[in-house]
Chains A and B, each alone.
Chain A
Amino acid sequence: MSTATTNGLAARIEGGRRVYGQGDNEVRALDGITRDFPLGRFTAVMGPSGSGKSTLMQCMAGLDRLTEGETWIGDMQLTGMSESSVTRVRRDNVGFIFQAFNLVPTLNARENILLPLDIAGRKVDQEWFDKVVTDLRIADRLDHRPSELSGGQQQRVAAARAIASRPKIIFADEPTGQLDSRSSAEMLDVMRGAVDQFGQTIIMVTHDPGAARHADQVIFLNDGKVVDEMDDPTADAIFDRMKAMD
């Protein structure tokens, strides 16, 4: 049992191992990762395909369980928690933006954005909500169903959902992967803004150095291990580092 302190941290993983399969088929998606994610920081996770980025996010967000090691959200240790407790932690403390298929088709944009708050029975900060939807240029699309929105709009609604409830931490797995550059830029600006204005913590997986450059820090994964990190990155520096890794 670790006694590591989690003061001032949004999330933490210690000795994280996630192994798929057995014997010859064994894949170590995460191979011993220990890392702190301080509050109010925007972290980008990069690495080649199959390096374990998604697995890291999912394990830390409580969607998946580590084979070995421990994770925390704030000071709540997820390892060993019951399924329903983990669900509650997710509901109250975690926001998600996935690469696609983020929205519930029966709910309109506004309802989708408010969904986590509704499930938790919490009230929305109306001022913040208005700002988020305005910045994401979806204020006039709030009464539309996902099927009536473009891909970019859908993705921005998903971002609004994650940001509007001001969770302790937002996990975003390639949120801009299928967006055009303008939508992509807007989304990153809003995410950056949430970090700067409200001290929002965000962990974002991305392939795009242009996206990763908005983060405070980039960490590089390879074969389930953190192989490097870079503070206040620029697109060029990231690009060079990525090239070196291939």
Chain B
Amino acid sequence: MIVTQATRNLLSNKLRLFLTSLAIVLGVGFVTGAFVLGDTINKSFDDVFSADNSASAVQVRGKAVVSEQDRKAVPADVLDKVKAVDGVADATGTIMGQAQVVGPDGKAIGGQGPPTFGFNWVEGPTNPMHLVAGEAPRADDEVVLDKATAEKAKATVGGSVTVVTDVGPAKYRVSGIATFGQSGQTAGATLTFFTPATANRVFTSSGKFASIEVTTKAGVSDQALAERIGKVLPAGYEAVTTAQSAKEAVEGFQVFVDIFRNILLGFAGISLFVGAFIIFNAFQITIAQRGRQIGLLRAQGATSGQILGSVMLEAALVAVIASVVGVLFGIFVAWGLHALFNAIGAGLPEQSLVISPRSIIIGLAVGIVITLLSALGPAFRSSRVPPMAALHPMPDTRSRPWAAVVSGIVLVLGAVMFVWGTLGDMATAPRVVLMAGGGMLLFFGAAALTQYIARPLAYAIGGAFAWRGGRMPLRLGRRNAMRNPHRTAQTASALTIGVALVAAVSIFAASLQETFVGTLEKRLNADVIAFAQSPDGFSVAAEKSAEGVPQVTDVMVSRFVQFKRADGDTASVSGLDPAKVGAVYDAGVEDGTFAELTQPNTVAVSRDVADDLKLKVGDSLPMTFAQTGTAPRKVVAIFKDTTFGRYYMDNAQVTANSTRARDQAILANAAPGVSADQAQKAMETALKGYPSVKAYSKSGYLDFIGTQVNQTLLMFYMLLAMAVVIAVFGIILTLALSVFERTREIGMLRAVGLSRRGTRGMIRWEAVIVSLIGAVVGLVLGTFLGVIAVKAFPDLTAMRIPWLQMLAFIVFAALAGVLAAILPARRAAKLNVLEAIATE
């Protein structure tokens, strides 16, 4: 009997089922999607980096002193030592650098994330490439390209291709086309192979190697050989099995894949959190509506346990249906995102989706557990409905005074936890727990407290619209929004979460913009800024092209290299030209002078670093570089602005301490008598051969930076918009249920002369007021979250609250209310007056 009751309730209102499930479907979809996509991407990187692809058995390389990527180059004599080790079949040195292939249209091929690698072509078993056309490069101007890159560059064997290396762009003859390893997948990386002599020249390697690849003789294990080789290596070098290095490479990628997956999971969490509010609300309302019916069941002898079971059974049905649909939706999400990433050039390998049982189980479990938990409160409440409810409609439950106090404590506790987690000094795991837990408590507290301010807020918001004439629909809508503050607060809370997150991100974005654009505006004096278009920077050769431009003066490049501090932190030191920096950029030197950076072993540090490490001008800072090791450096200047970096050295010293110097920017001023515009045009022309760098005017550069910031945050906005959309569905659901509940009352209003339009207006006003309550509370919370988040990043020196945007959110919330009201309002207006007022 209970089962049939539950199914009947559920199926009796398909709209309710749909709206209730929606949030869970979306949330579960994102959970499952995040796992499926993560697994799929990991699987494809596994394939790319798999030891199967590598022809060698052991790799010799510099130890990872500073970072995995930046290792000490291997001198040529080490190769001879390795070759002499017993059990080595063959050993070859790998020369490696950045080689940007340029398409026939002058545009860069690849390089938007995945790397653009250049190597020496080696003969023999250590070469992982398989020629599919043509032959190995023999002449100095010959290259082999990987197949995908050759296709993109429209390069054919015997044809020519332009490649930009450390010595600048040059035309090469394509001698052959090859595929990588077993799968031929390169995960979007472009691979160019030169003759050893050319590689040595274009990557300025001075005879050194990035690594040495070794194959074993039969009967020797990789591990044993690696150990044997290790014994002959000079200090600072290591020999590892290729299986080991492949594993490390995969792990290196997995970190990024995991970050990305966790972001998706974060949004899934937000959807589910919003969904929990909606489910809670939906069950709460339906149970209130069924009070009489439940009372009747109780009067006829149903135990409170049976009532509880019946409600939970209904919740379980919703949970299972929504979760199953959600898992299917998640597989679709994974597929869609995979396709989307490739459409925007991520170059993910072809890979059918990896749908592990774990992805499905987690998705189902999360959806079911959250739905059941959300329904638990209302279910318990329903089980406490007394049999008397059959005779008298239940009065609205009044909130107990201690509930407000508890809610307040929860709110404050959440806020404290969030602030602590955000600003405190701790490991990632407790930080995430504190931030997410604190955020959730904050929202719970706020949602619970909203009911106490819902009435005055509804009154005030309604009053704010009084200029609309204070007509009946507005007054009735306002009354409806005020009649059950608990429900109003619940409904608004779903929107509160979305609005708060969007507001927080917008504050973060505005502060980011303000910090960068604002500081740059003030401190950057250059007329022309040529800036890297790829995370790997651009060739150091571009500097010479820029210096040859007669229309510009004060040409200064900025390059950087990683180093390790004495405390083990890895940081980046930027290079500058001490003679020219003053003309193009004002770092706000507070102590000492940049001019002294020309002295050997010197460094300039920012004020916050100096404070942190208690450094004064004249003190010494030990810095460890991968190529040159540790040496103390004298602090010669302390500066304020950290926009371009926290450590500066002379460019020449940066170059001397790195193998793979890449430039980040070239700053220049217009020569006397040349307009800034002309200077920018001239620079643009001079850098035509370098597609990974683009010349901007100052204002153009500021726009570019602004756009970059916005694009980075666009995905966040989009994913958060989903939370808002879910919340709007929540409002639709509540309104629809309310209209159903108030059938008789609406009929009465219609009978005494409220027009259909007026009826629609009444529902619309209610929706607008509820939405605005959600938005107002959301803005307050969002401002709090945003301000704390900005504070958590010391790099964000400017704090800006975008009031105009905040105002826009309010307007959007009101519009969302109007939108949410469309269906329920139409339903209310169409009510048959006679049926509505018919006495039972």
Seen from chain A, the residues whose Cβ lies within 8 Å of a Cβ on chain B are 58, 61, 63-64, 83-84, 87-88, 90-92, 94-96, 98-107, 115-116, 118-121, 147, 161
Contacts and interface: CB of A to CB of B under 8 A. Distances in A.
Contacts of B837: 63, 98, 101
B378 interface: no
B287 to A, nearest CB: 19
A101 B839 contact: yes
B395 A118 contact: no
Given A105-B745, A106-B476, A119-B472, A64 B752 contact: no
21 contacts: A64-B834, A87-B756, A88-B753, A88-B755, A90-B752, A91-B752, A91-B754, A91-B755, A94-B753, A95-B752, A96-B751, A98-B837, A101-B745, A102-B748, A104-B745, A104-B748, A105-B745, A106-B482, A119-B472, A119-B753, A121-B471
Contacts of A147: 395
A115 B480 contact: no
Given A98-B839, A147-B395, A63 B756 contact: no
Given A98-B837, A98-B839, A106 B480 contact: yes
B757 to A, nearest CB: 7
Contacts of A58: 834
Interface string B458-492: 00000000000001100110011011000000000
A84 B750 CA distance: 11
Contact of A106 (B483, B754, B755): B483
A103 B748 contact: yes
A161 B748 CA distance: 12
Contacts of B472: 115, 118-119
Contact of B752 (A83, A99, A115, A121): A115
B839 A84 contact: no
Contacts of A98: 748, 751, 837, 839
B752 A161 contact: yes
A94 B750 CA distance: 12
B749 interface: yes
B745 A63 contact: no
Contacts of B834: 58, 63-64
Given A63-B834, A104-B748, A84 B753 contact: no
A164 B415 CA distance: 54
Contacts of B754: 87, 91, 119
Interface of B: 395, 471-472, 475-476, 479-480, 482-483, 744-745, 748-758, 833-834, 837, 839
A148 to B, nearest CB: 11
Nearest to B479: A106
Contacts of A100: 839
A84 B752 contact: no
Contacts of A120: 753
B755 A84 contact: yes
Contact of A104 (B749, B755, B833): B749
Contacts of B755: 84, 87-88, 91
A87 B753 contact: yes
Nearest to A84: B755
Given A105-B483, A106-B480, 4 more contacts: A58-B834, A63-B751, A98-B839, A120-B753
A179 to B, nearest CB: 14
Contacts of B753: 87-88, 90-92, 94, 116, 119-120
Q: Which 3 A-B pairs have the closest CB atoms?
A: A91-B753, A106-B479, A116-B752
Contacts of B475: 118
Contacts of B750: 87
A121 B758 CA distance: 13
Which of B482, B751, B754, B837 has most A Cβ within 10 Å? B751
A19 to B, nearest CB: 15
A107 B754 CA distance: 15
Given A98-B839, A99-B839, A119 B483 contact: no
Contacts of A102: 748
A96 B754 CA distance: 13
Nearest to A107: B479
A107 B752 CA distance: 14
Nearest to A92: B753
A88 B751 CA distance: 10
A84 B479 contact: no
A176 to B, nearest CB: 14
A83 B833 CA distance: 12
B28 to A, nearest CB: 38
A46 B837 CA distance: 21
A44 B750 CA distance: 25
Nearest to B833: A63
Nearest to A105: B745
A32 B751 CA distance: 25
A105 B744 CA distance: 11
Contacts of B483: 105-106
